[in-house]
Amino acid sequence: MKKRFQRILLKVSGEVFAGEQGYGIDPKVMETIADEIKEIYEMGVEVAVVIGGGNIFRGIEASAKGMERTSADYMGMLATLLNALALQNSLEKREVFTRVQSAIEMKELAEPYIRRRAIRHLEKKRVVIFAAGTGNPYFSTDTAAALRGMEVGAEVILKGTKVDGVFDRDPVNNPDAIKYDELSFFDVIEKELKVMDSTSITMCMDNDLPIIVFNVKEKGNIKRILNGEKIGTVVGARPRRVPR
């Protein structure tokens, strides 16, 4: 079966890795996500990953409680590296070749982020995990996902969350919330929907990079998306013309 996309950027929030325990890294969740990535890796899909750090430390929350914002954001970037190394370990146990690239230099733990090197790794069928966001405070890992996706030529951002897509209200607290199957970037901005932050949405809109928001906890969802099934919510400039 022809794959829907050849090169993807998978964005996974740190909160997903915490699982039901709410903090830290749940080994079972990490193993599940590693299995999902291995499945599409074996299909020949080129996979880049951006990971959040909210399961360990959220800079914006610490800032709201009085910590100086720049220091708080750098601490959040370090949290993403912990998640990246944990995912790398899980993938390599499954014989999936990986590279971790960090926007903040930590040469004993990861390669520095170099765009051409990242693209070469993808061409050689290595999973590239991007850590430390953009390397700059005041920017979220959503922004890092949009930026890295465009830099490496990803055809789509797959945003893995804990729910089945984008809803008009929080589906966790509102059982009658309505799920959207397709949205334009303008819809997301106008309705103030919680897809990605406004900077990320604007970057994707300006560069016509579609986003698919889906439940990463449901086994097989990533493969289903790549096989053309309608999973989650498609966000794009022309949502009905997203490549199939």
CATH number at residue 110: 3.40.1160.10
Whether 120 maps to a domain, the answer reads yes
pLDDT class of 238 with cuts at 50, 70, 90: low
Please check whether residue 90 lies inside any domain of the structure. Answer: yes
Which pLDDT tens digit goes with each residue over 190-233? 998 988 999 999 999 999 999 999 999 899 999 999 999 999 99
Report whether 59 contacts 137 (CB < 8 A). Answer: yes
Does the structure show a pLDDT above 80 at 70? yes
Would you say residue 94 lies in a domain?
Answer: yes
Q: Is 1 among the domain residues? A: no
Name the residue with tokens 């103030």. Answer: 192
Q: How far apart are CA 207 and CA 14, in angstroms?
A: 26
Q: According to the model, what pLDDT value does residue 1 have?
A: 53
Task: Provide the phi-psi class of 154: left if phi over 0, else alpha when psi is between -120 and 50, else beta.
Answer: beta
pLDDT for 157 beyond 80: yes
Range(s) of the domain holding residue 211? 7-241
219 domain residue, yes or no: yes
The residue-averaged pLDDT of 113-132 equals 97
- Within a domain: residue 181? yes
Task: Answer whether residue 2 is part of any domain.
Answer: no
Instruction: Tell me: pLDDT of 47 over 90.
Output: yes
Domain count, the chain: 1
**Tokens, residue 198:** 């406004």
Phi/psi for 34 (5° steps) reads -60, -40
| The pLDDT of residue 19 | 87
